[in-house]
Structure formats: C-alpha cells, structure tokens
Amino acid sequence: MATTSHEPTTTRADPEGISGAAVRRGDRTFLGLSTGAGLLVLVVMAAIAVFLVWKAIPSIQADSANFFTEGQWLPDSDPPVFGIAVLLFGTLWTSIIALVIAVPIGYGIALFIAFYAQRRLASTLAFIVDLLAAVPSIIFGLWGLYNFMPYVVPFSQWLSEYLGFIPIFANSQELWTKSILMAGLVLAIMILPTVSAISREVFVQVPRMHVEAALALGATRWEMIRMAVFPFSRPGMISAAMLGLGRALGETIAVALILSAAFEINWAITEPGGNSFAANIALKWGEAGEVGRSALIASGLVLFFITLVVNMSARWVIARRKDFSGAN
Amino acid sequence: MSKQIDLVDLDIYYGDFLAVEGVNLTVKANSVMSFIGPSGCGKSTVLRSINRMHEVIPGAHVKGAVNLDGENLYGPNVDPVLVRRTIGMVFQRPNPFPTMSIAENVIAGLKLEKDKKRKESMDEIVEKSLRGANLWEEVKDRLKRPGASLSGGQQQRLCIARAIAVEPQVLLMDEPCSALDPISTLAIEDLIRELKDRYTIIIVTHNMQQAGRVSDDTAFFNLSGIGKPGHLIEVGPTAQIFSHPEHKQTEDYIAGRFG
C-alpha cells in the first residue's frame, strides 16, 4: 500500500508476505475522527467552564454581600448586593418536588408498558409518552399557568387544610397561585417522559432468561420485577431519574412563567414565591447592566457546577456494585 | 415427594397457531423421561406447558390437561404461580441472577415463600442445595461472590441448586447441557441420576447419547412439515426406543438420518 503519509507506523508492502501497512488508512482516519469527536466534547465543556468563570469574576469581586448566602439580587445597585441563596433553594426545591412526583409515576408507566400492558396498548402508550417529551417547554409553561393552575389551587388548599401540620404544606398567606408546588408539578410533567422513556428502555433490555428464571421459581409478576428487573435495571433507573433532575434543574421558561419571582427562602410549597437559576437569568438578562450580567453568569456557573455534581454522583452510584451488575 | 405426571389430550397454542397436538403421556414418579426430536417439533413447548411457563408468552395457551398425581394443573382454581413453585425448571442457558451472590441465588425461590415456616436455617438450605447440586465443594469459600463469576457448568449447577432449594416435586430441564462443555455435561448427567431418587425429572435434549445415558423413558416428538403441529410419535423405555422403535421416523431420527 503506497502512501504519502508521514506516519511512522506506515511501512511499505512486502511483496512476499503478510507484512504491510500495520495500520490501514481507513482505520486511522476513523480513529482520528472518533478521537476528535471525543475530544471536542471535552473542549466544549472546558470552553463553557472557562467562559463562565471569566465572565463571573468581575461581579463576584464587586459583590458587597456573600455570594453564597445572600438572598437578594440587586447587582446593579451601588454597591452591588446579590447572592444565590434564594436561587439555589428554589432550583433544588422545585426540582426535588418534581422528582418525588415524576420518578415513581415514570417508573410505573415504564413497568406498565414493559410488563403489564397488552402489546398494542403498550406501543401506543409508549408513543404518546415520547410525544410528551417533544412538547416545547413554553407550551408547558403557558398550559401550566392558564389551564393547570386552577386545578392545583384546590389541591393546594386541600394539602394545607389536612396536612398543614407539616410545615411545608402550611399556608399562612391564603394565596395559592404561582407556588413552588405549582412549578414542581409542571416540572414533574415535563420530566415524566424522560424518566419513563429511559427506564422503559432499560426494562425491556432485561434478558428474557432472567425474567423466566424468576417466573419459573414461582414469582408473581411483581416479585419477578423485584427479583430480576429492578436489580438489573438499577443503574438505568438511576440515570433516568438523574437525567430528569438535570432537565428540571435547568428548565427555564416554564418556571419563569409560573413562579412569582420572589426573593425569599420559603419552604411552604403551597405559598407563592421562589425563584430558580435559569428562570432568574431569563427574566433579568434583558434589563441587567454590566455587573448584573456578570452576576447572572456567576449564577449560571453555579447551576453548571450543580448539574456536573448530579451527573457525577449518578455515575458513582452506578459504579459502586459493578461486580454484581448485569454486565458480566 | 415426587409425583407422577399425566398429559391428557394436550393441545398447545401460540395465539391461533396450534404448535403441538394431542399429546398423551405419563411420566412415572422418580423416573427420568427425556424428550427428543428435531428442532421445532414442540418438545420444549410441551415441557414449558407442564409448569405453566408456556403461558407467559402473550397469546399462548393450552387445551387438555396436565395432571400431577391426578390433580389437573390447568384446573379453574389453580394458581400458575404455585404450580411453578411445585415444578422446578432449569433452562438451556445458565441463568443465575447476575445481581445476586451465589448464596442469594440458591435461596431466591425461598424468599418468595416468606410465610412458610422452615425447620432449617437459610445457611443450612444453601449448603444442602449446593451439595444436592454437587457444587458445594467448589463454591463453599466464596458464597458471597456473584453467581455470574462461576464457569458455565458451575452456573448451571447453581441453577439446579436454586431449583431444588424450594423442594419441588418435579424438575424440568430444557436442554440443560447444550451450552456446556463435555466435562460439565458429565457432571450434570451424574447429578440427574442422583436427583432421580427425590424428583420426577423430564429433560429435553438434542443429544441422543445423553438421552440414552440418563433417562428411563424416552418420548419422541416430530412434525410432519413447517407450519404443522408437532406430535408425540412414540414413548417407551429408553432401551426399547433406541433399539426397537415402533415407528420408522423414530428409527430414522435416532439413526441420524434427519433432525
């Protein structure tokens, strides 16, 4: 194989035997392309991190309050006073509520589709769930604000009346709209397709022989699911929840529409109030001054960091019991 | 503990498709019966209908009766889950639960019967079952290791230990050695001969020598063409089936002229 390449691995073909180019050009090209694609991801990640840090530094230096514990957001006042406490709280609190609601339901939908539903119903249902994932978030936001809210209000009142002794359900303001619960519910609906589609994928990949092993031992369908399906799918189920969490953490427009953008930490989920990183950036960016934009980027950096931690801890959970995973 | 099995006019369907037609067969208690026949003749299907595993496939159902000491397993008040606890099954490919340790695999079936009182502790049952499957000496020092860390032959014996841990009355084996090497196959065959004292065993095999070595009786299944249902051609003592079969097609199959 004659080649003009300067790679040292390329040798001239030996007419007598099997020696020739030890690495084919096609292989090398593909190796280069795939390595490049892999590296590109790292470069993009690094570029984002560098950009965020670079742009965030001026505002953090200018901040007259503690960036992590301050609740107010007045970066363009003199002196600038702002911090992420409320944003962090609101982002995590809405996302946790969304997860608590969406994960069990998402697993339930996935189990129903994978193991209980008749084949025709299962494929129809799977299709509809996937369709739900394709609905733009602005639609969810508008629908949540105008159509869903009227139904959530009585539910909030019911929660407050009967479970009000638990502080998070109490409502002292007698105002029920634009609450953390409302945002959490809409986020739950938004991440439901993610959770259920991914967990369905892993459920249907459980080898038939493990399912049959459990059934042949005299397991009921639910016992079979606990015995053969859940252990095998656990990493995938965790990934599904984490990806859902990732979407909930970063969700912007629906939360921006629904939450009333109050700058206070309020655990009471039925009361109006709360804010999140992404919603705050979207709402404040247009009117922000120089320090204001830098401050918003600084809050974005924190969100970036949180999503990294979420994903890494998911990986850690998955890797813990490798010996016992279905992979070997 | 072991019991006799009678298949009475058994027709087995996948949806509308009649896969096996008109099987009448008796497996005596404490005996080994082997099912032989070419691929697609329905021998595995018949085996799976005995512990009602056939019906886990959507649309699959049977007509006729499978009697366990006279009690019809397809009777109106019979719970298929309980049938499967009474009739253990070992599959073609070893299928220990990958997320469970060796010991956990053995007692996986027992965990399903929580309310049942037992004289022995779980540890005793693990040892007894693994000894019963001729695996104890090989794994006694690593009971907490994953079941999937064993060799294929060991995994299959682990699956047998798991099946006998619940003390079934019948043991069904669907080509249990087809994924194993000759040494592991011999170990399983020795085990089958020992287990016969306590269980009624039915084994599906493609290996005629294996049928000759382990079984008391042999049933030959065949189908007349693609898309036609499989039939039980003949059944009898293994020695007779192999030396003086009544039917020409049995003789041809055993002689290796088709299949």
Do B93 and B179 touch, CB atoms closer than 8 A? yes
- What's the gap in Å between the CA of A224 and the closest CA on chain B? 10
Identity of residue B127:
E
* Residue A199 distance to chain B (closest CA, Å): 18
pLDDT interval class at A15 (50, 70, 90): low
In the numeric block, which tokens belong to residue B125? 């049952």
Shortest CA distance from A207: residue in chain B: B95
Q: Tell me the pLDDT tens digit for each residue of A197-244.
A: 889 988 988 999 999 999 999 999 999 999 999 988 888 898 889 888
User: Which of B51, B48, B69 has the alpha carbon at shortest distance from B3?
Assistant: B69
Alpha helices in chain A (DSSP H): 25-62, 85-111, 119-133, 137-143, 149-163, 180-204, 208-216, 221-224, 230-250, 253-258, 277-284, 290-320
Do residue A209 and residue B91 have CB atoms under 8 angstroms apart?
yes
For residue B115, the model assigns a pLDDT of 64
Class of domain B5-99+170-254: alpha beta
| ipTM of the predicted assembly exceeds 0.85 | yes
Residue among B54, B81, B143 with most chain A CBs within 10 A, to mutate: B81
Please identify which residue in the block is written with the tokens 């490049």: A36
Q: What is the pLDDT of residue A321?
A: 55
CATH number (1.10.3720.10, 3.40.50.300, 1.10.287.1770, 1.50.10.150) of A84-282+293-320 reads: 1.10.3720.10
CA end-to-end distance (rounded Å), chain B: 36
Determine which of A324, A325, A328 to mutate to test the interface with B (most B C-beta atoms within 10 Å): A324
The mean-pLDDT minimum among A4-18, B66-80, B196-210 falls in A4-18
Does the pLDDT of residue A132 top 90, yes or no? no
**What is d(CA B192, CA B172) in angstroms, rounded to the nearest whole number?**
11
The answer to whether the CB atoms of A215 and B159 lie below 8 A apart is no
Q: A212 to chain B, minimum CA–CA distance in Å?
A: 8
Number of residues written out for chain B: 259
Smallest Cβ–Cβ distance between A209 and the set B95, B163, B166 belongs to B95
Each residue of B226-259: pLDDT tens digit? 888 999 999 999 999 999 999 999 999 988 877 6
Q: Which chain A residues touch B if contact means CB-CB below 8 Å?
A: 118-119, 207, 209-210, 212-220, 223, 227-228, 231-232, 234, 321, 323-326, 328
Which chain B residues are Cβ-neighbours of A234 within 8 angstroms? 99
Rg (CA), chain B: 18
What whole-number distance in Å separates Cα of residue A99 and Cα of residue B232? Answer: 56
pLDDT, tens only, A298-328: 999 999 999 888 878 777 776 765 555 544 3
Distance set, CA A230 to CA A107, A255, B22, B27 (Å): 10, 33, 40, 37
- Chain A nearest-CA residue for B49: A216
- A207, A229 Cβ separation under 8 angstroms: no
CB B177 within 8 A of CB B146: no
Residue B117's pLDDT is 65
A158-179: pLDDT as tens digits? 888 888 888 888 777 777 778 8
Amino acid A32: pLDDT: 93
pLDDT of residue A2: 46
State whether B100 and A324 contact (CB < 8 Å): yes
* Contacts of residue A158, Cβ cutoff 8 Å, sequence gap at least 6: none
pLDDT tens digits, one per residue of A241-276: 988 898 899 888 888 888 877 787 888 888 887 788
**pLDDT (tens digit, 9 = 90+) per residue, A46-79?**
999 999 999 999 998 888 888 888 888 888 888 8
Q: Mean per-residue pLDDT for B216-225?
A: 91
Tell me the angle at which helices B152-165 and B182-195 cross, rounded to the nearest 10 degrees.
20
Question: Where exactly are the structural domains of chain A?
Answer: 84-282+293-320
Q: What is the per-residue pLDDT across B94-137, written as a single tens digit (0 to 9) for each?
A: 999 988 999 999 999 988 877 666 777 888 999 999 998 889 99
Q: Are A216 and A152 in contact (CB under 8 A)?
A: no
Mean pLDDT within A22-29:
84
Closest Cα in chain A, distance from residue B158 (Å): 12
DSSP string, B21-43: EEEEEEE-TT-EEEEE-STTSSH
Reported pTM:
0.81
Chain B positions touching chain A (beta carbons under 8 Å): 51, 53, 56, 58, 81-86, 88-89, 91, 93, 95-101, 108-109, 111-113, 145-146, 148-149, 159, 162-163, 166
Tokens of B24: 């009448």
Chain segment B27-81, per-residue pLDDT in tens: 999 999 999 999 889 999 999 999 999 999 888 999 999 999 989 999 999 999 9
Looking at residue A168, the DSSP 8-state letter turns out to be G
Contact yes or no for A294/A52 (Cβ under 8 A):
no
Exposed/middle/buried for residue A282 (C-beta within 10 Å: 0-12, 13-18, 19+): middle
Contact B149 A323 (CB under 8 A): yes
Mutate: best of A204, A206, A217, A322, partner B, most B CBs <10 A:
A217
With an 8 Å Cβ cutoff, are A217 and B109 in contact?
Answer: yes
* Gap from B159 CA to chain A (nearest CA, Å): 9
Domain definitions of chain B by residue range: 5-99+170-254
CA-nearest of A108, A70, A64 to A87 is A70
Residues 6+ apart with CB under 8 A from B208: B36, B242, B254, B256
In a 3-state reduction of DSSP, which class is residue A20?
Answer: coil
Q: Do B159 and A323 touch (CB under 8 A)?
A: no
